[in-house]
């Protein structure tokens, strides 16, 4: 929860650094297929992976992956997808918009777990520092490269000339980009959604992005600036305790943990914003802001009270109800380092009252659509208007905006161009997209 949570979609960046090998062998009779169809349609597989790619004598671990050959036809590309910092999950894979694109190209979809997540752990007893030394981006990239070079032939047979397309969103969008950059011979193209390629320590632009997306940002900022912050900074433990109690967060002893916990629901709401797809779903941002508009007055204290109610509601619907659950989610002291030896870095969270122009994803300024990357020329970038984090990886819905529909179209067309194939799914007439205008 605390780590920058990376769920939704905002933009799409498809990267191709070297367009020289474009021929696709549609007539190839060596093709990827499941060796055991029953098995592959219903269960997880495990790949024998090197613990240390720099010293292969260190042994191996089991890296988990899923395979879906429902749409696969000989000659189709292989889409390699990873959720990055999270376990792979069959249900999530099925609900992903990636499969729709995979279907368009008669592709094979492989979803692979990142080392140190889910079940894909090297054989370690605890998370102390020496044991974490194999959790590096380079080792993770080498895992994927190894998988592409030596696919698990007990489960799939991949033709040597198959085109591998790496797909990821957010951190795994970075991985997709880096895979293409580092292993251009193995990775034909990368589809990177909302990838924050730039790293930044004091990433205040994230909070600016959150503020930008909220029509009621002034009321929220006012609550923090004129009610919450003065209490937290007063040092008056009685008042601080009463404030925490108002938010249902009495169990958080540390004031910074508390500050982080109360900014979390708002950030998450913006980052994961998507219009409701059914009448039973709440339209989060407008509902949140309506509460301020309907309040009897606009005093700082009243705004803080509304924030407190929203926070309690969020905790309830998130199932974070018991004191233990609250501590586990928000308290930096909750990790018992005598049980799980680890080195922790505490962090600060700030809500700032700045505004900027741009779309809704708070991560936007670290992606290629941020000003730092405008000069990238051989790659294609699409900005989803009013989109939030990783929207293009979501399964299509009836409420998809025109811009999101165009984004899906853009991915199809770009890949079709690069693969030199016509899409199996006809997208002409899908929606009229002025892609030129939206290219950055
Ligand atoms: C295929 O996988 C299923 C499910 O794991 C297993 O029961 C069956 O024995 C496997 N068949 C072969 C031929 O390996
Ligand atoms: C494969 O994809 C199809 C279509 O999205 C889905 O119905 C099926 O459940 C998927 N199977 C697996 C094992 O992911
Ligand atoms: C702390 O706040 C309480 C409640 O507002 C008040 O009664 C008390 O005097 C304050 N203590 C100090 C040291 O200011
Ligand atoms: C509260 O309302 C008054 C009067 O409408 C307005 O002048 C003021 O800017 C508002 N304050 C906030 C924080 O919205
Ligand atoms: C959580 O929400 C449910 C449904 O609205 C409600 O019945 C329950 O009392 C709430 N629990 C807490 C701890 O607020
Ligand atoms: C941490 O775990 C140890 C060993 O189980 C236990 O003795 C200790 O009380 C725990 N500390 C906290 C703060 O929970
Ligand atoms: C963007 O989303 C917000 C929040 O739902 C909505 O109020 C606004 O009308 C949308 N703007 C556009 C241009 O779609």
> Is the pTM for the entire model greater than 0.85?
no
Lining residues, ligand 3, CB within 6 Å? 236, 238-239
Q: Where are the alpha helices (DSSP H) in 294-401?
A: 300-317, 323-330
| DSSP-based three-state secondary structure for 169 | strand
Give the number of the atom of ligand 3 that is nearest the alpha carbon of residue 237. 1
Residue 129, token pair as written in the block: 């520092």
Alpha-carbon distance 91 to 114, whole Å? 17
Nearest CA, atom 1, ligand 4: 298
Which residue, 259, 249, 230, is CA-closest to 348? 259
Using CB atoms within 10 Å of the CB of residue 325, give its burial: 0 to 12 exposed, 13 to 18 middle, 19+ buried. Answer: middle
Alpha-carbon distance 337 to 344, whole Å? 9
Q: How many CB atoms lie within 10 A of CB 215?
A: 13
Alpha-carbon distance 147 to 144, whole Å? 5
Measured in Å, residue 37 CA sits from the centre of ligand 5 at 45
What lies within 8 Å, CB to CB, of 318 at 6+ separation is none
Assess whether the C-beta atom of 36 lies below 6 angstroms from ligand 1. Answer: yes
* Chain region(s) in the chain for CATH 3.40.50.1820: 31-199+345-439
Give the number of the atom of ligand 7 that is nearest the alpha carbon of residue 401. 14
Measured in Å, residue 193 CA sits from the centre of ligand 7 at 21
> Helices H, strands E: what count in the chain?
15, 8
Half-sphere exposure (CA, 13 Å, Cβ side) for 10? 27
Which residue, 313, 13, 348, 349, is CA-closest to 210? 349
* C-beta of residue 326 within 8 angstroms of C-beta of residue 314: no
The CATH homologous superfamily to which domain 31-199+345-439 belongs is Alpha/Beta hydrolase fold, catalytic domain (3.40.50.1820)
Assess whether the C-beta atom of 285 lies below 6 angstroms from ligand 7. Answer: yes
pLDDT in tens, the chain (440 residues): 333 322 222 222 222 222 222 222 222 222 334 444 444 445 899 999 999 999 999 899 999 999 999 899 888 999 999 999 999 988 777 778 898 889 989 999 999 999 999 999 888 777 777 888 899 999 999 999 999 999 998 888 888 889 999 999 989 999 999 999 899 999 999 998 888 888 888 889 899 989 999 999 999 999 999 999 999 999 999 999 999 999 999 999 999 999 999 998 999 899 888 889 899 988 999 999 999 999 999 999 999 999 999 999 989 988 999 999 999 888 877 665 555 555 443 322 222 222 223 367 777 777 766 544 444 445 677 778 888 888 888 888 888 888 888 888 888 888 888 887 766 555 544 455 555 434 43
């Amino acid at each position: 929860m605390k780590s920058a949570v990376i769920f939704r979609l905002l933009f799409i960046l498809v990267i191709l650094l070297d367009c020289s090998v474009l021929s696709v062998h549609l007539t190839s009779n060596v093709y990827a297929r499941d060796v055991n169809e029953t098995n592959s349609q219903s269960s997880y597989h495990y790949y024998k992976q090197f613990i240390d790619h720099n010293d292969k004598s260190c042994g191996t671990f089991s890296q988990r992956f899923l395979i879906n050959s429902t749409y696969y036809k000989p000659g189709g590309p292989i889409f390699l997808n990873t959720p990055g910092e999270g376990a792979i999950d069959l249900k999530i894979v099925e609900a992903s918009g990636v499969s729709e694109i995979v279907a368009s190209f008669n592709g094979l979809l492989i979803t692979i777990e990142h080392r140190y997540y889910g079940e894909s752990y090297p054989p370690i007893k605890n998370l102390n520092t020496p044991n974490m030394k194999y959790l590096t981006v380079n080792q993770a990239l080498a895992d994927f490269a190894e998988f592409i070079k030596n696919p698990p032939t007990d489960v799939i047979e991949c033709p040597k000339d198959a085109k591998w397309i790496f797909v990821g969103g957010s951190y795994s969008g970075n991985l997709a980009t880096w895979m293409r950059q580092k292993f251009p011979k193995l990775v034909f193209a990368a589809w990177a959604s909302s990838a924050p390629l730039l790293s930044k320590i004091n990433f205040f632009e994230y909070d600016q992005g959150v503020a930008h997306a909220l029509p009621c940002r002034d009321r929220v900022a006012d609550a923090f600036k004129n009610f919450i912050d003065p209490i937290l900074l007063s040092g008056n433990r009685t008042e601080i305790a009463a404030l925490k109690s108002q938010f249902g967060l009495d169990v958080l002893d540390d004031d910074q943990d508390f500050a982080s916990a109360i900014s979390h629901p708002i950030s998450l709401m913006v980052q994961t914003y998507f219009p409701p797809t059914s009448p039973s779903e709440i339209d989060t941002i407008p509902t949140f802001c309506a509460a301020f508009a309907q309040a009897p007055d606009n005093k700082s204290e009243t705004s803080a009270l509304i924030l407190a109610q929203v926070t309690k509601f969020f905790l309830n619907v998130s199932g974070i109800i018991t004191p233990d659950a609250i501590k586990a989610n928000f308290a930096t002291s909750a990790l018992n380092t005598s049980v799980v030896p680890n080195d922790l870095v505490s962090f600060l969270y700030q809500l700032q009252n700045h505004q900027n122009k741009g779309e809704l994803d708070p991560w936007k300024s670290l992606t290629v659509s941020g000003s730092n990357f405008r000069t990238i020329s051989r790659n294609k970038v699409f900005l989803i208007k009013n989109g939030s984090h990783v929207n293009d990886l979501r399964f299509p819905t009836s409420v998809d905006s025109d811009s999101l529909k165009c984004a899906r179209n853009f991915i199809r067309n770009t890949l079709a161009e690069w693969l030199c194939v016509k899409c199996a799914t006809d997208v002409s007439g899908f929606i009229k997209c002025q892609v030129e205008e939206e290219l950055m």
